[in-house]
Amino acid sequence: MNITFDSNVWEKLVLAKGKTEENNKYANLRSLVEEEKIQPYICEIAISLESIMKKDRANFWNKYEPKIEHETIGGTKNNDGTTMIHNRTMFSPDNEKHPGLHPKLINNLELANELGFKVLRMTNFGTVRSTQIPKEMYIDFQDIDDFWKYAEKLSNCANYIAEIKCGSYDYSQFKTDNNVNGMSVPKIIQRISDSKKKVFAKSVAEWVDGDSIAAHYAYGNNIFCTEDRGKSAGSKSVFSANNLSKIKERYKIEVLSINEVLAINL
């Protein structure tokens, strides 16, 4: 069974050793992974963006810009004797600007790699990725068409999640409310007050949750396992009962807690 694990589950799972009262459910879950009854997955967007501490997110985005490269690739003669020069512009995430993963997260990723965890790729255009995720952990698409099908499904689900006012919705609404539509993230941060930067930082977490669910759906995994039921974000969380009900109905996604997963006869 393919299960996508939220950050609040997988990091404790990989650290679980013995079966004490404190880590019993995580140890039991880990044993199912070790017995290969579960193929575990985690999401690149959660590792790359949530690893940027909330207090540092605003400053990071204030400085970050995607990488833009220009290249001249030749020219052709026109019938009137003029020459047309061909240029190519490449737009990509500037991953070298990522502030780096916390040592504890790097250690947990190494443990996850040893247990056979795979990483579901993020498809956000120009958004920074961590370069510290072991390359062998990424899911491997045999054909480029398979990747684009995955990206299309991810986008479709993520857009719906935004439509029901969770996931990336808060960030989009923030731009509208502050009259900064069309601006890049760094330009927005330069225009807003420190108090509003806290709102921005919180919106990152909601964006990550929404896109994690979308990546899970796009790859076709069986269960998304989380201990989050949207307690802190309330109605804005993708994991709130109302929002989750809508997403489940439309995309047939199964979201379960650890105890609910353990109750299944795997």
For residue 262, give every residue at least 6 positions away whose Cβ sits within 8 Å of its Cβ, in sequence order, or none. 25, 28, 29, 32
What phi, psi does 166 have (nearest 5°)?
Answer: -140, -170
69 in a structural domain? no
* pLDDT at residue 126, as a whole number: 52
For residue 10, give every residue at least 6 positions away whose Cβ sits within 8 Å of its Cβ, in sequence order, or none. 40, 42, 108, 112, 117
Report pLDDT digits (tens) over 119-130. 998 886 555 566
User: Whole domain around residue 241: which residue ranges?
Assistant: 2-64+97-262
Q: What is the mean pLDDT of residues 138-149?
A: 89
236 in a structural domain? yes
How many domains is the chain built from?
1
**91 or 47, higher pLDDT:** 47
84 in a structural domain? no
Q: What is the mean pLDDT of residues 100-127?
A: 83
CA distance 135 to 93: 17
185 in a structural domain? yes
Q: Which of 42, 194, 53 is nearest to 110 (CA)?
A: 42
* pLDDT at residue 128, as a whole number: 57
Confidence of residue 4 (pLDDT cuts 50, 70, 90): very high
**102 or 185, higher pLDDT:** 102
Q: Which of 245, 228, 261 is nearest to 7 (CA)?
A: 228
Q: Do residues 123 and 129 lie in contact, with contact meaning Cβ atoms separated by under 8 Å? A: no
Averaged pLDDT score across all residues of the chain: 79
- CA angle centred on 169, ends 150 and 247, rounded to 5°: 55
17 in a structural domain? yes
Q: Which residue type does 43 have?
A: C
**137 or 69, higher pLDDT:** 137
78 in a structural domain? no
Please report where in the chains the tokens 């985690």 appear, as a residue. Answer: 42
CA distance 25 to 63: 41
Q: Is the pLDDT of residue 54 over 60?
A: no
Q: Which of 178, 162, 181, 179 is nearest to 170 (CA)?
A: 162
Secondary structure (DSSP) of 153-189: HHHHHHHHHHHTT-TTHHHHHHHHHTT-TT--HHHHH
239 in a structural domain? yes
14 in a structural domain? yes
Tell me the whole-structure pTM to 2 decimals: 0.76
Confidence of residue 224 (pLDDT cuts 50, 70, 90): very high
* pLDDT at residue 94, as a whole number: 41
Range from 25-29, 96-100, 190-194, 220-224 that averages highest in pLDDT:
220-224
Q: Which of 135, 140, 141, 95 is nearest to 113 (CA)?
A: 135
- Range from 17-21, 131-135, 209-213 carrying the lowest mean pLDDT: 17-21
